[in-house]
Amino acid sequence: MKILVCLKQVPHQDARLDVRADGTWIQEDNIKFEINSYDTYALEEALRVKDKGDTEVVVASIGPDRVTQALRTALGMGADRAVHVKDPAADGSDALGVAKTLAAVAKAESPDLVLMGLMSDDGNAASVPPMLAQLLDVPSATGVMSVEYQNGSVRVERELEGGALEVVDLPRPCVLAVQTGINQVRYASLKGIMAAKKKPIDVKTAADLGVAGQVGAAAAKARIEKVYVPPKGQGAEILSGSADEVVGKLVGKIKELGLL
């Protein structure tokens, strides 16, 4: 089996979020990046299939030079090879532009299964996986909490509201968008990291993939006009003072509520 895992490199969850000068996104210089948390679960899911034998895991990502680090990490965890779409002309794509780029990668790779995270930690949009499936004309499922591999198909559990699960059978190839918590993600071993240095990263441009002009900021069908810190509502009354003073006030409030 061949599994394609699509990864996004996103600002580290604890990174400082400063709005950049033009107001349309955050300042991305000099902050730490990491693999999108949802995508690490997708990668782990693929590596578990590979652990059972005879499976090739290919990882793909779009972005500037820094993305190499994310791909090396994925290779260090056990992926076999990587595709890096690195092209300023592909920067600023909307979700559909990203899906078109990944669809071109998927068509070239012809995987039996595409695994990716449900959403990204930065955009939180959850749009690319179903878009990719639509462009490839294959079935898809989102919010996947378990995958059972059957002959030519997969049985998945999708997370619904309130912890209920929906069981669905999908023929392969298909696109699965996995939810966090589907597995426990491994760390790259030292041996894995050393081995990753010899694994290939295939660098592609939009033109190489035949999507030049269809992706990037100019082709985007929606644009972020501005990002900003949400206006403060009434919000919490913030207690000040030493730890002991603060604790005293908290106890006072709990008493006032009649709970102490």
- Which residues, 141 to 200, sit near other proteins by CB under 8 A? 141-143, 155, 157-171, 174, 179-181, 184
82: phi then psi, degrees, rounded to nearest 5? -135, 150
CB 66 within 8 A of CB 21: no
Q: Which of 80, 108, 112, 127 binds other proteins (CB under 8 A)?
A: 127
List 8, 26, 46, 109, residue binding other proteins (CB under 8 A) = 26
**CB nearer to other proteins: pick between 203 and 247:** 247
Residue 126 in the binding site for other proteins (CB under 8 A): yes
Interactions with other proteins, residue window 95-114 (CB under 8 A): 95-96, 99
Residue with tokens 């999708």: 158
Total residues binding other proteins (CB under 8 A): 82
CA pair distance 208, 55, nearest whole angstrom = 26
- The residue from 39, 45, 87, 122 that contacts other proteins (CB under 8 A) is 122
Q: Is 139 exposed, middle or buried (0-12, 13-18, 19+ CB in 10 A)?
A: middle
Q: Which residue has the tokens 């591999």?
A: 149
Site string for other proteins, 220-249 (x = CB under 8 A): xxxxxxxxxxx-xx-xxxxx---xx-xxx-
Q: Which is nearer to other proteins, 49 or 145 (CB)?
A: 145
CB 67 within 8 A of CB 35: no
DSSP code at position 243: H
User: Strands, E, within 17-127: which ranges?
Assistant: 33-35, 56-62, 81-85, 113-117
Q: CB 197 → other proteins: shortest distance, Å?
A: 29
Q: Which of residues 31-90 bind other proteins (CB under 8 A)?
A: none
**Alpha carbons 209 and 107: distance in angstroms, whole number:** 9
If the CB atoms of residues 207 and 247 are measured against other proteins, the closer one turns out to be 247
